[in-house]
Chain A
Amino acid sequence: MTPALSTRGLAKSFGSLIVARDIELSLPQGARYALIGPNGAGKTTLINLMTGMLAPNAGQIFLGEDDITALEPQERVRRGLARTFQINTLFPGLNALEAVTLAVAERRGIAQQFWQNVATYKETIEEAHDILVKLRLGDSCYQTTRELPYGRQRLLEIALALATKPKVLLLDEPAAGVPPEESGDIFEAVASLSGDLTLLFIEHDMHVVFRFASHIIVLVGGGIYAEGSPAEIAANPGVREVYLGTRKHG
């Protein structure tokens, strides 16, 4: 079966600084993959390359059967590749409902309509509201984004990505910066995501990784150091060595 997302020979460097070296990865449909590695390994860079925010020096990216290497970021989103940001990249002045409605409207192709009040687009709004409710944001959906507590903002990050009805979702440290009491919400939300959705998430917390991932990719210095099932990775002495200097929290 064609993998949901795959890359071939993906490489990127800034002058003499190599941030991605010959990356070959392949995510089967419905996968729950984790991308781990020390700081500076190039994990977010890889996501930026795959989503089109950064142009590679070499290599190709495939969404299903389609070569998306030359496509602009918004085109990739339309084809079903979405991502969340490690640092909240939200619309501070919009309330949560407006933000998700906007994302749904863009997907439905009605965002250029300038004559009817947005309130008349019943299905769009209901779809947005449903997404928010599913992520337990229903009761705060009227709050302005900048007033939301940090944990809820992280959930909104995911809501915005889900609004695009992705086939593949790349989560960049979804619980980053969230206090431990609230991070449970986030992972429950991630766990409740449909089995059809292919997930790749960057994570530092090994407990989370071992709980949610069926397959782990270890990135070091821009290249894939090892990959395999959680058991294989846990037993890999090289991986532990690579992490010894950087793991601060268990």
Chain B
Amino acid sequence: MALAETVRTPQLYLQGLSRWRPIEIAFWLATLLPYWLAPDYLSLASQIAITALFALSLDLILGYAGIVSLGHAAFFGIGAYTAGLLSKYGWGEPLTGLAAAAFTAAIVGYATSFIIARFRHLALIMLTMGFGLLLGELANSAGWLTGGVDGLQGIHTWNLLGYFHFDLYGYTAYGYSLAVLFLLFLGARRLIHSPFGLALRGIRENWTRMPAIGAASRTHIQMIYTISAALAGIAGALLSETTQTVSLDSLSFERSAELLVMLVLGGAGRLYGGLVGAAIFMVARDQFSGIEPQYWYFWIGVLLVVVVVFMPNGVLGGLAKLYARWRGR
């Protein structure tokens, strides 16, 4: 151990755990590259940013609090439909649309959190799946509101900040999505390094020990679940605003399951895992979009098996291990 270690105080040590690493700064600078390197792909880039935000929201409950949810798309869909309906009925201002979506998704999240916080293991997985499926069925039946299978029509997003127009090329869309992602990421990062973040990790690391140290785990879970729902809702709203469509698959089980795959691929519990996983997954899907759906699912299946057996902490976990080995620890 280096000599400097013996001089550090506990406070400084904890502070050191949360400082910005150069690779993080490089990562965020790299997100600006598409404007120069791949200007034809800005629409895809904005989709990736949106999905990354969605994955981040799942990471907060899965990677940090240990809640396995197979129904997180419910909040994504609620956000998407909220913003979409607002726009359809005359109010297409994007930022307030985000706020409305966050608010609605948060309320539903808060309400369901009372139930979610009381269960673990299979019952929890089933409940999250059940809620997602239930909402999907509701959305399907309420065609008069949601547009049913055809999706919501008549969305028109106003100019961002009164100036930036949402064009077909995605310049505004990408900048908008990326900015929202970055700001919310900063918030999530602060949260993770706060006492609350420590409590969440405690829940994930040992559910049984938490009450024994006087922790009200249920309240913690309710809080993070609500926050996560709000973030997922914002991601959904971003989708509806930038693509000016909303359809039933924004709430589907497939979307929830795919999100889980992306997060696990990147590595849960590292904040960046969802972002990396979303990027890899969606670029791959775009590149292989020509092939038959069943081949796509075959490779996803293989990927899942490989990740679980050989790389349980995802890409980032694997990289972290390699890095540690390289540094000769």
Chain A contacts to B: CB under 8 angstroms: 51-53, 72-74, 77-78, 82-83, 85, 89-94, 97-99, 101-103, 105-107, 110-119, 121-122, 124-126, 128-129, 141-142, 160-161, 163-164
Selecting from B9-17, B162-170, B233-241, the interface stretch reads B9-17
Task: Give CA–CA (A52, B13) in the complex, Å.
Answer: 36
Task: Give CA–CA (A94, B324) in the complex, Å.
Answer: 18
Contact among B205, B209, B214, B220 with A93 in the assembled complex (CB-CB below 8 Å): B205
Contacts of A163 in B (CB 8 A): 213
Task: Give CA–CA (A149, B214) in the complex, Å.
Answer: 26
B211 in contact with A91 (CB, 8 Å): no
Task: Give CA–CA (A124, B195) in the complex, Å.
Answer: 10
Contact among B10, B195, B204, B206 with A111 in the assembled complex (CB-CB below 8 Å): B195
Interface bracket on B: 35 or more
Closest Cβ of chain B to A112, distance in Å, is 6
- Please, which residue of chain B has its CB at the minimum distance from the CB of A122? B11
Task: Give CA–CA (A142, B14) in the complex, Å.
Answer: 9
A77 in contact with B190 (CB, 8 Å): no
* Residue B215 CB within 8 A of the other chain: yes
Task: Give CA–CA (A83, B12) in the complex, Å.
Answer: 31
Q: A94-B205, A102-B199 are in contact. List 15 more A-B contacts (CB 8 A).
A: A74-B211, A77-B212, A83-B212, A85-B209, A89-B208, A107-B213, A111-B199, A114-B223, A117-B15, A118-B14, A118-B18, A118-B195, A119-B14, A125-B10, A125-B14
Contacts of B217 in A (CB 8 A): 74
Chain B contacts to A: CB under 8 angstroms: 5, 10-15, 17-18, 190-191, 193-199, 201-202, 204-206, 208-217, 219-220, 223
Task: Give CA–CA (A113, B190) in the complex, Å.
Answer: 11
Contacts of B190 in A (CB 8 A): 114-115, 117
Contacts of B215 in A (CB 8 A): 74, 102, 106, 111
A117 in contact with B201 (CB, 8 Å): no
Task: Give CA–CA (A99, B219) in the complex, Å.
Answer: 19
- Please, which residue of chain A has its CB at the minimum distance from the CB of B224? A114
Q: List 17 A-B contacts (CB under 8 A).
A: A82-B212, A91-B205, A106-B214, A111-B215, A113-B194, A113-B195, A114-B194, A114-B197, A114-B223, A116-B194, A118-B18, A118-B198, A119-B17, A125-B14, A141-B10, A161-B212, A164-B213
Question: Do A90 and B209 form a contact, CB below 8 Å, given A106-B215, A112-B219, A113-B195?
Answer: yes
A129 in contact with B10 (CB, 8 Å): yes
Contacts of A161 in B (CB 8 A): 212-213
A105 in contact with B10 (CB, 8 Å): no
Closest Cβ of chain B to A79, distance in Å, is 9
Task: Give CA–CA (A86, B82) in the complex, Å.
Answer: 51
Contacts of B194 in A (CB 8 A): 113-118
Question: Do A117 and B213 form a contact, CB below 8 Å, given A98-B14, A101-B198, A125-B11?
Answer: no
Contacts of B198 in A (CB 8 A): 94, 98, 101-102, 105, 111, 118
Closest Cβ of chain A to B16, distance in Å, is 8
Task: Give CA–CA (A83, B217) in the complex, Å.
Answer: 18
Question: Do A119 and B195 form a contact, CB below 8 Å, given A82-B212, A102-B213?
Answer: no
4 nearest A-B pairs in the assembled complex, by CB-CB distance = A114-B196, A77-B214, A91-B205, A119-B15
- Please, which residue of chain B has its CB at the minimum distance from the CB of A77? B214
Question: Do A74 and B214 form a contact, CB below 8 Å, given A106-B199, A113-B196?
Answer: yes
B202 in contact with A73 (CB, 8 Å): no
Question: Do A142 and B209 form a contact, CB below 8 Å, given A114-B191, A115-B194?
Answer: no
Contact among B202, B212, B220, B223 with A94 in the assembled complex (CB-CB below 8 Å): B202
